[in-house]
A = this chain, B = another copy of it.
């Protein structure tokens, strides 16, 4: 049946939207958005700083988006921009001490929210969902 197939698609998009909104709400109290938290996470995993272009690659988005995201993180005081001593074209996004602390809060909130969401599923179901979702999207990246 065709209806079942396009329902799979609609369900996926709907569920993802709902889940993301849920996560966004849980992050609210710490003043971080999903996007900002993801950026801070990349900086932490990279040891504290990254060229803006590399940050864009890791976030799988366009460079101009990162420019603006870092602008907002900079006004928040969670990131500063620094010159790259090796290449004067490059600018480094550097996580601040305040950014590290806020990241830690956000990370906990996100883990809580995720496990709460996924608790609706058994471990087996979670694995299946991940596998099916990946299978759907594979080759379209």
List residues of chain B with CB within 8 A of the CB of A134.
Answer: 11, 14-15
A37 CB to closest chain B CB, in angstroms?
Answer: 13
A134 to B10, CA, bound (A): 10
A136 to B2 Cα, complex, angstroms = 23
DSSP class of A's interface residues: helix, strand, loop or mixed? helix
Residues of A1-55 whose CB lies within 8 A of B: 1-2, 4-22
Q: A6 touching B111 by the CB < 8 A rule?
A: yes
Report if A140 contacts B (CB, 8 A).
yes
- Known contacts A8-B121, A16-B16; 8 additional CB pairs below 8 A are A5-B114, A5-B123, A6-B114, A8-B129, A14-B137, A15-B133, A19-B140, A125-B132
Residues of A within 8 A of B (CB): 1-2, 4-22, 111, 114-115, 117-118, 120-121, 123, 125-141
